[in-house]
Structure 1
Amino acid sequence: MCEMSPCFLSVFPFLFCSIKGVSSTSRSQTHKRRQTRIKRQPLQLQSPHSSRTFVLFAGSSTGLSRLLKMAFKLTFSLWVILLCDVIAGDEQEIIPNKIVTRAGRPTEFECRSHDCSSPLYVWSTVSDDSLPGKVDSNRVTVTPTVENDGFIYVCTVKCGTTIRQGSTRLVVFALPEQPEIKVEGPLAVGQEVKLTCEVTDVYGPDAITIQWLEGGRVVKEDEEPLDGEVRTVRSSLTVVPVEEDDERSFICKATLVMEGLHGEDAQNCISSSFPLSVPLPPKNTSIFVSPSHILKEGDMLTITCATRSNPKAAISLWRKPESGGREPLAAKAASYTLESVQLEDAGVYECEAINRFGNSTVDIKISVQVPPRNTTILVLPSAEVEEGENITISCHTIGYPRPTMTLKKMGNSTSYCSSNGTFELYFLTEDDTGLYEMNITNDVGYEVQTFNITVEPRVEGQKSPPYRAEILVPVICVSALVSVALGILYPLLKSRLTGGYQPTLSGPQSL
C-alpha cells in the first residue's frame, strides 16, 4: 500500500511505500521473528514526463519466505526518489494468531503494535462480507456461528506515515450441550437392550470420537469423519442387564478431533451418563432396632427399615397392637424414634415397602421390661373366717417379664410359689391366723405386700357363717432387685379337726 508523504521537499517529493512482510519462524518457536527492511534507494527517472513501471521484491534474512510484488507507474515532470519500507510482522500481531472456538461461545481477540506510541487500528475483511462481532479499537468480540468458520479478520495499523497489516483466521466448531442416550426396548433381567448415543448439530473439519465407558473403563469406541457439514452422529452399545444392575451405569463421551483443540478447556468434549435401571420389586426388606429389641422402661428406641428395589420403594412403619389391626407410625419414612419407651410401647412393629412392581413386609417384636408395680391382693370370701372354712388369695400385678408370686406366713419358713398369682387355703384353723407376705419378683425388680388373715373359733352348734364380701387389701410397694427361684410345693395335710394347707396339682395354687 502506497501513499504520498505529507512532507514535500522544495525540489523532490517523496513517495513512501510500506509493505508488510512475514518472516519465517521455526515450528518449535525457538527462533524470534525478524523483521526485514529494504533500505531506501533513490530511483531516478531517465527523463521528464517519462513513465516507468517498477517492481519491488522483499525477502527475509532467513530465506525468501514470501514474495511481495508491487507494480506501479510513475509519471512526473520532476526527478522522483522512491523510498519503500517492507516491515516484517514482529512489530504487529493479532492475539491469538489462530482463533479456534465453539459456536455460540463468546470469543475475544486483539491486534497489538509493539513499536508505535499512538497507533490507529482499522479492522476489515478480505471480502465484501460484513465484519462479524463488535469492534472496540484494537479488540474484537464475536459470538460465532458455523457460518463464520474460515472468516479472515484483517487488522491495519497506521503509525505516522507507516501502515502495517496483520490477519487471523476464525475456525469454528459446533457441539450440543450433551449427547442424548436412548434405549430401544424394555429393560428386563436377562434380555438384550440396545443403547444409542446421539450427538446432534455436530460441525468440524476433521472427525468425532464416541466412547462408551463403564466404571471408568472404555468398553467401546467409534470414530466418524466429518465433512464440514452440520450433522448428527450416533453410536450404539448392546448390553444384557442382570439383577444386580440397579446401580450400574454407562457414560457416552463425544470428543471432537481437530487441530488446535486440546484438553477439556477447549470445550470439545461432552458426555452423558445412563443408569442401567432394571425394574425390581422390593426385596431383602429388613427392619433394624437400636439399641436392642429388648429394652428397659425409659430407654430410647430407634426403628429403621431398609429394602432393595427399583424404582425406590415407599416405606411405611406400623405398630400392631395385641387388640388387632395396625397403627401408622411414620408414613413414607424409613425411620422412627421413641425417646422414652413405656410398657405400652411393647408389641410387634412392621415395615412395609411398596413400589409399582410389588411390595414386601417384615416385622419384629419389641419387649419393654418393667419391674412389678400396681399390685393388688384379693382374699375371698374374706380375710376373716371361722375355723374349717376355705379362702382363695389372688395377686394381680403389672410387670415384664411375667413376675413370679411367692406366699409365705411370717414366722414360718415354708413358702409357696405361683405363676398365675392364685393361692387356695383349705380347712383353716386358729393356727392359720397371722401376717402373710406376698413377694412379686421378675428379672428387673420386685415388690412386697403384707396382709392379715384371721381365723376365729367356731361356736358350738352354730352353722358356718355365710361368705362375706370381697376385701381389697391395700398394697405398700417396696422396690429392690432380687432373684427368686421357683418354689417346690410341699403338701401339708392336716386333719379336718385341726385344719391345714391343701395344694392342688393344677389350676390356682392351693394352700
Structure 2
Amino acid sequence: MGRTSQAVLLILYVFMTVKAFEMEIIPANRIVAQIGETLILTCNTTGCASPSFSWRTQMDNPLGGTVNNHRTYSTLTMNPVSIVNSHDYLCTVFCGEKEKKEKSIKVELYSFPSDPIIEIRPSLVAGEPVTVICKIPDVYPSDHLEVLLKKEGYTLHEENFYEDDSTNTETKTVTYSFNPTAEDIEKEITCVAKLPIAYMDFEPKERVTSQKLNTNSGPKNTIITASPGNSPMEGDPLKLTCVTESNPPTQIVWRKHLADESIQHLIENNVLSIPHTRFTDSGLYICEVINLVTNKTEKATVDIVIQGAPNITELSIEPSITVQEGENVSIQCSAESNPPPKIILRRKSDSADMGSYSEGRILLPSVTFLNGGDYECIAENKFGKSKSEITLNVEYGPKNTMISVIPATAVKEGETVIMKCTSSGNPAPVISWKKKTATGELEKMFKDATLPIQNVKSQDMGLYECEAHNQFGREEKAVRLLVQVPPQNITVLVYPSENVKEGENVTITCSTYSNPPSQMVLKKVHQEKEIILSSVNGTFILYNVTKNDAGRYLLDVFNEAGNNVKVIEISVVGRLEKTDQMIPLIIAFSCVTAVAVPVVAILIYVSRKAKINGSYSLVKAFGLKV
C-alpha cells in the first residue's frame, strides 16, 4: 500500500511539472477604443509548441482588421478603428487535433476627439439679438451627449441628445439666441460638452471651449501644426491642424503646391488628415482662412517631407524585353524615397556595377548575346532598400558550335563512337548531322545533337559535319573520323622461290590492307643470335645469298590496331654453274601496305644497283633506313 501511494504521488508530481495548454486574450474581456486610433488585440498561448489561430466575430461579420500569426501568439490589428469594429471578437486556438480553446473580447467604441467650436452670429451689436452656435465634432455614441451653454458661469441653455439614433460619428450642434446688453461685451460664452458613459472607461469625458463676446476681428496669428511632425515616415498617419484667431470664426480652405507649380484644392476644414502617407504627399501645404464678415484673408504654410525606404517605381527595357542581336537597348530604373536613394543597376551575373547611381540607366548599343540575362535594380537609403529584377532576352543565331568525339577521332574497328555537337543560340539551335560521301556530296544522316556509331567499321571512316540552325542563322563544324584496321588479307610472294642457290637474289612481295599503313620488321631466327631488319616501306633485300642466309624468317606486319606474323623458310644450295654472270642472286622481300608496288620494276632497279656479296641489306636505290 505504501509503495502504491508513492507511485501515485510521483505521477501527480510529473503532471504538475508539465505546463498545461492555456490561452489568454490581451486585453482581457473588453476594451474601450476611440474611433480613428489604432487597436491591437493579442491572442497568446502557453503549453503548446505549434498552435494554430483563427479570429472571427460572434456574428460572423467581417473582421475589419489584419491578422498576423506568430509562433505562440496571434494579433488582430485595426488601424484605424472604425464603427465596423464594434463587435465581440472570438479567438480560437487549436493545439494538435484534439485540444481547442476559445476566448472572446468585446470592443466598445466611442468618439470625442476635440473641444467644441463656438460661433456667434451676426456681429455683436448691443440690444440686437445674436445666436450662439456650439458645434461638437465627430461624437459617438451621441445618445449620451450633454451640452451646456454658459455666460460668465451662468447657464444660458442646456440640451441633451438622449433620443438620438445616429449609428456613426456625427458633429452635433446646439444653438441659443439672446439679446446682449452693453455689459455683455468682453464677457465669456462657454460651451461645455459631456459624454458621460458610465460603462466606458476613457478620458476626457468633458470638453470645454470659451469665447468672448466681442466685436468682429481677424483672422490673425494663423498657424499650422503637424502631428507627428513635418517629416513623418511613409505609411504613418499625418494630421495638419490650422488654427487662427478670428471673430466670427473663419472659413478654412486647404491647398497644396504640386510639382508642376499648379495648386490642388483639398478640403474645407481646419484639420487635414492623411491616414497613410506616401512619398507623393510631400510638398508645400497652404491653409487659407477667410473671415466673411471682416472680408479679410490670411494664409499659413507648412512644408511636409515624407521619409522612408525607397520604392522602385520603374524598371523597364526599351524597345522590348526580347530583342535581336544588333539592336540598341536601354534599361531604365527609377525609385522614389527621402532622402533620395542610391540606385545600382547591374546584370546579376556581373560583380561590378554597370550604371550610374544617380540616373539608374544602362545603354547597350548593338546588343550581343553576351548582354542577355537577369538585371537587378537596387535602391537604397538610410531607411532601407528595395530590389527588383527584369530579364533581357537576346535572340541570336548559332555560335560557338563544337564537336566532341568519345573516345577519340581515331578508333579501332569494332569500337563504339559517340559524336556530340553543341551550339549556343536563342532560340536553341536545331542540330543535324551529315557525312561526306565518296562523290564529295554531303548526305543527311541524323537529326540530333548526339550521333552514336556502334561497332564501327572502315566504311564509317570519313568527314562528318554538324549543322546548327535557327531562324537567325546557321553554323557548321566538321570532324574527320579515322577507323584503325589491323593488317589483314596479307599475301606473301617469294621470288624466284623459297629454294635458291648461292649468289642469287630473292624477292618476297607482300600485299595487305590496314589503316593506318603498316610497318614491317624482318627477323631471321638463328641458333646463336637474331638478326632483325626493319623498313619504313617494308622492302628488305639479301644480296648474293650464301648458305649462311638459309633458315627461318619471321615477318611482323603491324600498326596501332594490331599485327600479323608470317613465317618464311629460305633454303640455299650450291652456287650457280655460270660464274661469269654479272648480276648476283638477290633475295628481296617487299611488303607494300595498302598499295602494291610492281614487283618487276623493283627487281630490275635493284639488280642494277646491287654490288654486295653474302650480306643483309636494304635497297639503297630507295634510300631506306634499316
TM-score above 0.5, yes or no: no
> TM-score under structure 2 normalisation?
0.35
Higher relative contact order (CA 8 A, sep 6+): 1
How does the TM-score come out when normalised to structure 1?
0.42
Higher helix share: 2
